[in-house]
Amino acid sequence: MGATHLPSTEFDGTAVDDQLEADAEAAMGEPPAQMVQLLGPDGKLVTDPVYSKYAEKLDAEKLRGLYADMAAIRRFDVEATALQRQGQLALWVPLTGQEAAQIGSGRASQPQDYIFPTYREHGVALTRNVDLAELLRQFRGVSNGGWNPKDTNFHLYTLVLAAQTLHAVGYAMGIQRDQKFAAASDPVGTEPPAAVMAYFGDGASSEGDVHESMVFASSYNAPVVFFCQNNHWAISVPSTVQTRIPLSNRAKGYGFPGIRVDGNDVIAVHAVTEWALDHARQGKGPVLIEAFTYRVGAHTTADDPTKYRESAEEDAWRAKDPLARLEKYLRAEGLADDAFFAKVKADGDELAAYVRRTTHDLETPDIRTAFANTYVEAHPLVAEELAWFEEYSAGFAGEEPAGQAETEAGH
C-alpha cells in the first residue's frame, strides 16, 4: 500500500510528524485524519461545510478582538519569562506559538461553562477575565492558586499531569445532574445549559487519567469537551513517541467525536470549539479536540529545548505564526490598519508594565509556610524537618557575599 497523502493544508511538503501518523493509518486501512483549517497561512479564508457557519459569526470587531488577545498574551508571556530570569518568579511556563489554540477555544466558551486548565493556559485565563498579575502568584510561590475559580469559572492550575481531566468529567457529571433536577423543578428552563472544557497536552494524553476520564465521560454522556493542545513535545519526548495515529482518532475508541484542527488558525479553533461546546450542552455527549500546534519555546524556564530538537524545526513553525496569519487577513480585508496594530502594541506594553509592577509588589514567599501547610495538625516529622531547616538557615546568618569583605578591606 502506498503512502497516504495528507489533507491540503499548510503542512503539505513539510517533514512533520503527522506524516508518520498518516502512514500508520494507511497501513491499518484507515482514511487519513482530516484537519479543519479555515484561515490559511496566506491569510485567505476558505469555506467548510460544517464550520464556516460558525466562522461567519465572527464580525470585524470580534476578529480584531481575537488578534488583540493573542498579541496581549504573547506580550505577557515575554514579560513573565523576563521576570523569572530576573529572579522574580521561581518558574515560568511559556505558551508562545499556542496563542490561537488558547484564545480561539477560550473565546468560544460561554460564562456558564467551567474550564479546567493545566499549567500553560494563560491565554484561556485571559479570555475568562482572570487578572494575569494574580496568575503569577503561584509561580512566585506566594499562593497555591492565585485567584478564586468561582469568580470566573476558570479552575486553578493543575501541575499534576492529566489530573484535571478526572476533575472535569466529575464536574460535568455534576452539571448534568443539576440540570436534570432544575429541569424537573423549572420546566421553562431559565438557566442556560453549561458544559465543561478540560485542557491537556499530547504528553499528558498518555496518562491513565485521560483514558479513565474518557471512559466515564462516554459512559455517562457527560457534557465535557477534551481539548488537547498537541504542541509536538512532551518536554523532551516528541509526539511520535506518544502516538502512532492522530490523537483525535482516539475518540473513536470511546464512542464520541474527535476533531483535529489547525491549532495555529484561530478562526478554525474558535469554530470547532463552539460546535463542540454546543454539542455537549445539548446533551449529545463529549467531544475530543486535537489542536495541532507547536511549542516554540521551552517547556518551562528550567528546560533547554536545544538539547532535544533542532533549531530548523523551530524556525519552520515560526513561519506558521498564528498572529502573522490573522494580521494578513485583517489587512487584506481592510478590517484593521496601522493605527489598530499600534494600539495593540501599546496596550500590550501597558499590560506588561502592570504585571511587572504588581509582581514586584508581591510579598517575598516564606518557605516555612510550606511546612505549616503540610498537614492540618502538627506532625512530629514535619517539626523535625523544620528544626533542621532552621538550624541550616542559621548557618548563613551574618555572612557577607563572596568578595564583599575583601573589597571593603581594600577601601
Residue 367: predicted pLDDT: 83
Is 308 one of the catalytic residues?
yes
Catalytic entry in 232, 250, 295, 325:
295
Place of cell 420546566: 187
Q: Could you give the percent of the chain with pLDDT greater than 70?
A: 88
- What mean pLDDT do residues 160-169 have? 97
Q: What is the pLDDT of residues 45-82, one digit of tens each?
A: 999 999 999 999 999 999 999 999 999 999 999 999 99
Give residue 142's region: left, alpha or beta (phi > 0; psi -120 to 50). Answer: alpha
Is the distance from CB of 323 to CB of 99 less than 8 angstroms?
yes
* Average pLDDT score, the chain: 90
Query: What is the domain partition of the chain in residue ranges?
Result: 18-361, 368-410
CATH 1.10.10.10 fits 18-361, yes or no: no
Residue 342: predicted pLDDT: 98
Distance CA 124, CA 129 (A): 9
Predicted structure pTM score: 0.87
Is the distance from CB of 238 to CB of 17 less than 8 angstroms?
yes
Residue 401: predicted pLDDT: 47
Which of the four pLDDT bands, split at 50, 70 and 90, describes residue 28? low
Q: What is the pLDDT of residues 98-115, one digit of tens each?
A: 999 999 999 999 999 999
Catalytic entry in 128, 155, 299, 356:
299
With helix as H, strand as E and coil as C, how does 335-371 read? Answer: CCCHHHHHHHHHHHHHHHHHHHHHHHHCCCCCCHHHH
- 154 secondary structure, DSSP code: B
Is the distance from CB of 293 to CB of 10 less than 8 angstroms?
no
Question: Side chain identity at 76, as an amino acid letter?
Answer: F
Residue 1: predicted pLDDT: 41
Residue 407: predicted pLDDT: 42
Q: Could you give the percent of the chain with pLDDT greater than 90?
A: 78
Q: What is the pLDDT of residues 307-340, one digit of tens each?
A: 999 999 999 999 999 999 999 999 999 999 999 9
Task: State yes or no: pLDDT of 27 exceeds 70.
Answer: no
- What mean pLDDT do residues 202-208 have? 96
Is 295 one of the catalytic residues?
yes
Place of cell 484507515: 30
Task: State yes or no: pLDDT of 134 exceeds 50.
Answer: yes
Q: What is the pLDDT of residues 238-288, one digit of tens each?
A: 998 889 889 999 999 999 999 999 999 999 999 999 999 999 999 999 999
Catalytic entry in 5, 308, 318, 368:
308
Is 299 one of the catalytic residues?
yes
Distance CA 101, CA 97 (A): 9
Cα torsion through 345, 351, 353, 356, rounded to 10: -130
Q: What is the pLDDT of residues 358-407, one digit of tens each?
A: 999 998 878 888 898 889 999 999 999 999 999 998 888 765 544 444 44
DSSP assignment string, 196-239: EEEEEETTGGGSHHHHHHHHHHHHTT--EEEEEEE-SEETTEEH
Which of the four pLDDT bands, split at 50, 70 and 90, describes residue 22? low
- Residue 57's nearest CA partner among 269, 273, 267, 291 is 267
Handedness of CA 224, 229, 230, 234 (dihedral sign): negative
Task: State yes or no: pLDDT of 9 exceeds 60.
Answer: no
